Structure 1
C-alpha cells in the first residue's frame, strides 16, 4: 500500500477503535453498577445493555445508504456526534431508564457502513481486502482491550466515568475524520463493501446467508446474556472484587485468542471451515452447559468461560469469511451489511431476553437458555453446504473495454481460474471470484493494462 492508503487505514481503524473501545468497556461492569440505581431490575439492566444493539441495527443500513448521497464524512461526523450525545446522557443518568435512553441514542450513531465505504473510496481496489482485514483486527483488539480496561477504569472513575471517556473518544474520532482522513473526490457505491438497495432481497433470500445471519445473532445473544450474570458471579460466588476482574479477563481473552489462531488458519488453508464451525459451536454449547452446572465452582466456571471464548473468537473470525463465500459477487457488501445488523440485533436480544430470564430463573437459567439457543444454531449449521474457497478480487478495467460489456463479461469468465464476474461500468471495475490455484494472472492483467 502507498503512504495515503496507510494513512487512511490507520485513521479509519483508529476511528473504529475509539468508538468500539468505549462500548466494550461498559460490558463487564455495567450489570453490577446498575444494581445500585433506583428502580433497577434484571430485565431493565438487560434492556440498558442491549438497547444499543437495536438502534444500531435499525440505523446501520439507512445511514450507509444516506452516505452514498450526502457524502461519507458528514454522515460519519454526524453519527459520532449522536454517539457522543448518548454517552453524555448515560454519564449523567441517575436512573436505569435514562441510561436506556442514552444507550439507545448511542446506537443511532451507526457509522460502520459509511466508514467502510469511505475506506473503499480512498484506496485502490487491489488493497481493499487487506485494509478491511486490518480494520477487522483492530475491532477484535478493541473488544479485548475494552473488556480488560473497563474494570480497571471503573475503579477510579466509576461507570459514569467510562461513559464520559466514551464521549471523549467519540469526539477524538470526529477530529480524526476532519483532520486526518482525506475527502474523496467522488463517493461511489461499492458492491464489495457497501449495501446496494437493489440486492437486499436477493441477499435475504439466500438460505446459506440466512443461516449465517441467525448464527451471528445467536452467538452475540449468548455473549451479551453471559455478561449480565458473570460479573455478579465473580463478586458474589468467587469473592473477586470488581476492579480485580481484569485478572480473569486478561488470561482468558489472550489465551483463547492464541488458541483460536491456528484453528482459523487450518479452517482456511485446509478447507476445514465448515467442520471447525460445527466444532466451535459445539464448544459454545458445552461451555454454556458447564457454566450452568458449575458456575459456583471457580475451576469449572473458568474452564467453561475459557472454552466459550475459544469458540467465540474462532466464530467471530470465520463467519464473515463464510458470508463472503456464500454470497455472489453482486451481493457481498449487501450480505455483510445484513450480517452486521443481525449481530447487533443479537446484542439487543441477549440483553433484553437475558434480563428477563435472569429475573425469572437466575444465573443458571441464563446459561441454560444460552445453551438451548446455541443448540438451535448448531442444528441449523448442520445444513450449511460446503463452501467454495474462492477469493474475492476487484479488477480496475481499461475504460475502452466497456464499449461491449457482454463481451467483456464473457472474456473475463474465459480466463482460467475466474469463477464469477460482475462488470460495473459506473465504478470502472469488475468484481470477481477466483480460484487462486488455477488463476492465470497474466491473462487477467491484460484487462487492466493501459492501451498501447
Structure 2
C-alpha cells in the first residue's frame, strides 16, 4: 500500500478524477458517426452527454454521504465496477435508447471516482495544502481531455465508435485493480458519520445556507456549464458546419485543453502568493471576457474555427484556475462532512452543466451562435457569482 501523502497517491486520485473527462471527451469526434450508425439525429446523440451528466449529478447525492459512513475506498470500488459493466453495455448497444441507458449507468458508477477523490484530498490535507493538491491533480487530469479526442478520432478511424467504450472499460478495469491493491482508506474511523436520512439532509441544509459554499459552487458550476456547452456542440459546429476532419478537431481540442493545463499550473503556483479569492476574481473575469468575445464573433457572422477555438483556449485557461480554487473553497470549512460537501458541489455542478448542454442541443441552429452564447453566459454568471457572493462576503468580514 502507498502512503496517503505520497505523490503516487495524488497521481492515482487524479487518474480516478480523469474518469469523467475521458468518458465525455473521448467519444466527441465520433458523435456524427454515431448518429449515422444508430440512425438518429444530432439532438439524440447530444442527449448521451446530458444523460451522462444527469446520472453523474444524481449519483453524487448518494456516494458522498455513503462514503462518509463506510469510507471512501469501498464506495469507489463499487462505482468503478458499475462503470466497467456500463461501458461494456455501451459497446454492444444496438439502438440510441440502449446507449442512453448505458451512458446513464456509466455516469452513476463513474461519479464515485471524481467525487471521492476530492473528498480524499480534504481527508488527507489541511485547507491550504488541499488547494495546492487539487491544482496538481487538475494539472495531471488535464492530460486526459487533451489526449482523449485524438485517441477517440484514431479509434473511430480504425475500429469504429464502439472501440471508444471498450477502451473506457479497460481503463476502469486497470484503475479498479490499482485502487484495490495500492490505495489505503483515507477517512479515519473516528470521522465516520451516521448515514441516516436526517443526518444527510441536515448536512445538505447546512451547506446550502453557507454563503461561501454556495458562492464557490456557483463560480465553478457556471464555468463548467460553459465548458459543457462546448463539449455538447463543438463536434457538430467544427466538424459538420466548419468542415474540420475528426483528426483536425482532435488537434484543436489539444490546444483548448492546453489552456486548461496552464491554468491549473498557475493556480498551484500562485494560490499561496495571491490568495484564493483574488485568483478567482481574475479567472472568472477571464472566462466572462473570453466567452463574450466568442459570442460577439458568432453573432457578427465570423464562422471560422479560430473564432471558436482561440476564445475557448482563454476560457479554459481561466477555468483551469477556477476549478481547483473553487473546489478547495467549498470544501475547506467542512472537513466533518467532506463527502457530503463534495457530493453536493458535484451535483450542482453537473446539474447546471447538463441543463446548459441540453439547451445547446435543443436550440442548435447549425452554426456556432447557440454554443457561443451559452459559453458567454457561463463565464458571465461565474464572474457575477464571485462579485455577489465571494467579494461581498470578503468585504463584510473586514
**Coarse TM-score class (shorter-chain normalised):** 0.7 to 0.9
Give 1:350's match in structure 2, choosing from 351, 356, 366. Answer: 356
- With 138-147 and 111-120 compared, the bigger mean Cα shift is at 111-120
Q: In 2, distance between residues paired with 1:148 and 1:187?
A: 43
Q: In 1, distance between residues paired with 2:345 and 2:355?
A: 15
- With 55-64 and 336-345 compared, the bigger mean Cα shift is at 336-345
**Contact between 1:82 and 1:105, CA under 8 Å: does it hold in 2?**
yes
**Contact between 1:37 and 1:94, CA under 8 Å: does it hold in 2?**
no
Q: Which has the higher helix share?
A: 2
Aligned Cα RMSD in Å? 3.5
Instruction: Give aligned pairs, total.
Output: 379
- Residue of structure 1 in register with 2:196 after alignment: none
Equivalent residues in 2 for 1:101-112 (5 A)?
101-109=101-109, 110-111=111-112, 112=114
**Contact between 2:26 and 2:151, CA under 8 Å: does it hold in 1?**
no
Task: Return the index of the structure with the highest Cα Rg.
Answer: 1
Q: In 2, distance between residues paired with 1:65 and 1:150?
A: 34
- Residue of structure 2 in register with 1:141 after alignment: 143
Alpha-carbon shift at residue 48 of structure 1 (Å) = 0.9
Unaligned runs of 5+ in 1: 390-419, 421-452
Alpha-carbon shift at residue 170 of structure 1 (Å) = 0.7
Alpha-carbon shift at residue 178 of structure 1 (Å) = 1.6
**What are the Cα deviations for residues 139-177 of structure 1, in whole angstroms up to 9, with x where unaligned?**
233222223332233222222101010011111111111
Alpha-carbon shift at residue 60 of structure 1 (Å) = 1.2
- Residue of structure 2 in register with 1:163 after alignment: 165
- Residue of structure 1 in register with 2:230 after alignment: 226
Alpha-carbon shift at residue 103 of structure 1 (Å) = 0.6
Distance 1:385 1:258, change over 3 A: closer
TM-score normalised per structure 1: 0.72
Distance 1:382 1:242, change over 3 A: same
Equivalent residue of 1:44, what SS? Answer: helix
Q: In 2, distance between residues paired with 1:47 and 1:132?
A: 30
Distance 1:154 1:37, change over 3 A: closer
Displacement over 6 Å in runs of 4+: none
- Residue of structure 1 in register with 2:44 after alignment: 44
Give 2:347's match in structure 1, choosing from 341, 355, 361. Answer: 341
Q: Which has the higher strand share?
A: 1
Equivalent residues in 2 for 1:168-187 (5 A)?
168-183=170-185, 186-187=188-189
Q: In 2, distance between residues paired with 1:291 and 1:99?
A: 32
Q: In 2, distance between residues paired with 1:105 and 1:234?
A: 29
Q: In 2, distance between residues paired with 1:380 and 1:93?
A: 41
- Residue of structure 2 in register with 1:15 after alignment: 16
**What are the Cα deviations for residues 252-288 of structure 1, in whole angstroms up to 9, with x where unaligned?**
4325644775587567634533244224322222223
Q: In 2, distance between residues paired with 1:330 and 1:262?
A: 25
Distance 1:321 1:248, change over 3 A: closer
TM-score normalised per structure 2: 0.80
Alpha-carbon shift at residue 124 of structure 1 (Å) = 6.8
Higher relative contact order (CA 8 A, sep 6+): 2
Equivalent residue of 2:40, what SS? Answer: coil
Equivalent residue of 1:36, what SS? Answer: helix
Distance 1:71 1:338, change over 3 A: closer
Equivalent residue of 1:171, what SS? Answer: helix
Equivalent residue of 1:384, what SS? Answer: helix
Alpha-carbon shift at residue 136 of structure 1 (Å) = 3.1
Q: In 2, distance between residues paired with 1:119 and 1:268?
A: 17
**Contact between 2:229 and 2:356, CA under 8 Å: does it hold in 1?**
yes
**Contact between 1:43 and 1:355, CA under 8 Å: does it hold in 2?**
yes
**Contact between 2:87 and 2:102, CA under 8 Å: does it hold in 1?**
yes
